[in-house]
Amino acid sequence: MNKFILILLTLIIINPPISYTVEPDEIISNSIFEKRARDLSKGIRCLVCQNQSIDDSDSDLAKDLRKIIREKIVQGETDTDITEFLVDKYGNFILMKPPLYNETYILWVSPLLLMIIGITIIYYSFRRR
């Protein structure tokens, strides 16, 4: 019995069980198209989960978006066209890495500013002691 458990644990460590969110009926038979679809899906945010890409999400919206991406790839659209379509429909929030605009500078710079302020406060509080 101990050998069986040891073998089972070894197999799990070597080949861990992976849960794929992409369902078999979504997969494109052309491996190049499928790789493009997976790469695009990793850069698109699930609007339901908000912390996950649609490639990782199991929500109905993520499934629908994955199907839309695959349909557009098969139709011959470029990655840029597909991304623009999704941004036009859902806004920049759908991108996992939104672009830098004049209106969003504060969002991109604020973590750095807060870190500098925090370090300055810590420095001066230790300096007085």
Q: For 93-118, what is each residue's pLDDT tens digit?
A: 899 888 888 877 887 889 999 999 99
- Residue 115 to residue 16: CA distance in whole angstroms: 39
Per-residue model confidence as pLDDT tens digits over 8-54:
667 667 654 444 566 666 677 778 888 999 999 999 999 888 788 99
How high is the pLDDT of residue 85? Answer: 95
* pTM to 2 decimal places: 0.65
Label residue 79 exposed, middle or buried (CB < 10 Å: 0-12, 13-18, 19+): middle
- Return the domain boundaries, the chain: 2-98, 101-129
Classified as helix, coil or strand, 108 is helix
Nearest to residue 86, comparing CAs of 37, 16, 13?
A: 37
How high is the pLDDT of residue 27? Answer: 75
pLDDT at 127 over 90: no
Give first-to-last CA distance, the chain, whole Å.
Answer: 64
Q: Which fold has domain 2-98?
A: Helicase, Ruva Protein; domain 3 (1.10.8)
Per-residue model confidence as pLDDT tens digits over 52-92:
899 888 888 999 999 999 999 999 999 999 999 999 999 88
Percent of the chain scored above 90 by pLDDT?
Answer: 40
